[in-house]
Structure 1
Amino acid sequence: MSFPSSSISRLLPDLVLLIVAIIWGGSYLATQELAAASSAAAVMCARFVPAAILLISVNLARRKVRLRDSALPGILLGTLRTATIAMETIGVTLTSATNAGLIIALSILLTPILESALTKRRLPLPLIGSILLALTGISLLVGGQDFSGINLGDGLMLLAAATRALLGVSEALFTVGRKADVLSLTTLEIVVGAVIFAAWGGNSLLEHVPNFSVSNWFTLAYLCLGCTIFAFLGQLWATKHTSASRAGMLLGTEPGWALLVGVFLAGDRIGALGYMGAAVLLAATWWGARAEQRWRGAGLAAIMCVCKVAFDQ
């Protein structure tokens, strides 16, 4: 059985976003383990500095370096990305992975709300319903995990959910319908984070690196290559070919994958309620993707108009 190339091209951004969500789902456990062997600041430095060096080298090897053309949007996106990663990394060390997963999932709700405000288009009822259903699924997933009271870590994760939603909308604004160079934008995003995190956690990283185990090095490679380089490139490329709301919905499955990682790698138990929540989350994602596609198809002209007015004057 063969699939038309047009169908594959439509499905590819969704597949990439889903893979990114799976990879990020494992980042909670990986970050906690590596931070326990060093510090949160060291983890962020270790993720971003090697990634920045690698991507700068790739850009310099290109025939036409476009970093200068992407400077302003790259710096703006990098600032949002850095703030989000910093709050997520510190937050997950101050609260439980369960709390972190539930709170960060609020970005599912915030992303289409922000995009709707930007384009001045009312969200359709099916999309609103799918968002609420997704949040219900996430609540069921963590329902048996004893959600604790709000603490500093929870507050940081809440702020991270807001900046993640703003980042998703900003990425769509800079890329959808525009000749944006995804590699240059991603490189500048990571360079901004690398500079900040090197100044913040460089000394801590150098202090702890000699004591890293083989497992720590594998975890570091996963966070740097998978959760940073591939995930950031994949998210930006997929958002360029879809929309912030659709990307937010698919990336919103991340907490479910985080719990699955906990079940299979950390021995966590989620019970029947948790599996019910996983099924609800998958159904909500499918429903939301269809609803968002219809909404986006009807209002693409509005988004293009906003982009042109905001950046072409």
Structure 2
Amino acid sequence: MSTSRLATLATLGLLLMTAVWGSTFVMIKDVIARMPVADFLAVRFAVAAVAMLALFPRHVWRLGRVGIMRGLVLGAIYGAGQLLQTWGLALISPSVSGFTTGMYVVFTPILAALLFRQHVRARVWGATLLATLGLGLLSLHGFSVGAGVWLTLASAVMYALHIVVLGRWARSDDAFGLSAMQMVAIALVCGLATVSHGGPMLPPDSAAWLAVLYMALIAGAGAMLLQTWAQSHLPATRAAIVMTTEPVFAAAFAVAFGTDVLGWRMLVGGGLVLAAMYLVELAPRRKTVTALPAEAVHHEV
């Protein structure tokens, strides 16, 4: 399969992943109203880790010592981001949390340039600005800087670091094993946050268990697998911009389920995010078809 076609499939995979993430907001809100957030995260990722290890033991074994360590490091980074975001969310509104978390789209090209000397084109910086403005319109209805914002901003840095390092280490052949080891590390990090009160509390009823299973297997293990595979075919900065469509999907699900009303901020904010994705994904690829060999698509950032 050609490099350009793989890049297209990777973009579609990331869009599917962010759509799944966007579908979980209503369920998460319901579950964390009935059990502590850290406990919910610990159970969710423990279930995902067990499922991944049971399904892909040979893939984990084939990673070797270096691959296993890389998976654990990536999972620890992501798990730290989850906890920081959750602690911040306890202090600020969900809308401010959504915008601040989405700032990983700004930190990703900065970290890519600092850590790996990756050249970031002006088009990507322009798309980053568009995505940030779109996130602000989608999420913000007032903003103040306090401890919750700083914690959530730290989580955005961790998510950006995860995207950048995953883009460096991911190989399509290792996607199953690397995803499994990331789930293990995330479960351990989130589990540590529950030690102070004697370990994680289990979901209180069958409805909560169903929500946790969906978020563990589909929005957890499945989404991580998609992201790991997709980032083996896309530069980290472009992946980050595609992933900012999450709040667009979240808003669409909120409108569809009747928990929110479609307004101009949703339309304009969502349009800016989609314009940012077009700028870094579709527009250059259309030019590439006529001006560049297909092999250049993957390496253009």
Q: How high is the TM-score relative to the length of structure 2? A: 0.85
Deviates more, 1:133-142 or 1:248-257: 133-142
Q: How far does residue 221 in structure 1 lie from its aligned partner after superposition?
A: 1.8
The secondary structure found in structure 2 opposite 1:273 is helix
Describe the shift of the 1:278–1:292 C-alpha distance in structure 2 as closer, same or farther (beyond 3 A): same
Partners of 2:223 and 2:14 in 1: CA distance? 8
Query: Structure 1 residues 192 and 121 mapped into 2: Cα distance closer, same or farther (>3 Å)?
Result: closer
Q: Following the alignment from structure 2 to structure 1, what is the Cα–Cα distance between the partners of residues 169 and 162?
A: 11
Letter in 1 for 2:238: R
C-alpha distance in structure 1 between counterparts of 2:159 and 2:168, whole Å: 14
Of residues 160, 174, 178, the one that matches 1:181 is 174
Q: Distance in 1 between matches of 2:167 and 2:255?
A: 34
The number of residue pairs the alignment matches comes to 291
Query: How far apart in 2 are the matches of 1:192 and 1:64?
Result: 13
Identify which of 136, 158, 164 aligns with 1:169: 164
Matched-pair contact (CA < 8 Å) for 1:52–1:191: yes
Return the TM-score normalized by structure 1: 0.82
- Could you tell me which amino acid in structure 2 is paired with residue 233 of structure 1? L
Q: In the alignment, is the contact (CA less than 8 A) between 1:44 and 1:201 conserved in 2?
A: no
Confirm or deny that 1:13 pairs with 2:13: no
Aligned partners of 2:264, 2:24: CA distance in 1, in Å? 24
Tell me, yes or no, if structure 1 residue 297 matches structure 2 residue 296.
Answer: yes
| Residue aligning to 2:120 | 123
Cα pair distance change 1:139/1:179, threshold 3 Å: closer
Is residue 255 of structure 1 aligned with residue 247 of structure 2?
A: yes
Q: Deviations over 1:240-262 (max 9, x none)?
A: 11111111111111122222233
Partners of 1:21 and 1:173 in 2: CA distance: 21
Confirm or deny that 1:41 pairs with 2:38.
yes
Q: Where do 5+ consecutive residues of structure 1 fail to align?
A: 304-313
2:291 corresponds to: none
Kindly state the Cα deviation for residue 136 of structure 1 after the two structures are TM-superposed.
1.5
The answer on 1:134 being equivalent to 2:126 is: no
In the TM superposition, what whole-angstrom CA distance separates every residue of 1:262-303 from its partner, at most 9, and x where no partner exists? 333352235123212211211111112257767x938949x9
1:73 maps to 70
Q: Deviations over 1:26-66 (max 9, x none)?
A: 33433332111100111111111111111111233x38822
For the residue of structure 1 that corresponds to 2:33, the secondary structure is helix
Structure 2 runs not aligned, ≥5 long: 289-294
Q: Aligned partners of 1:257, 1:127: CA distance in 2, in Å? A: 22
Q: What is the root-mean-square deviation in Å for CA atoms of aligned residues?
A: 2.9
In structure 1, the partner of 2:221 is 229
Identity of aligned residues (%): 26
Q: CA deviation at 1:169?
A: 0.5
Per the alignment, residue 84 of structure 2 pairs with 87
Tell me, in whole angstroms, the C-alpha distance in 1 between the residues paired with 2:149 and 2:265. Answer: 23
| Cα drift, residue 134 of structure 1 | 1.4
How far the C-alpha of 1:167 sits from its partner, in A, is 0.5
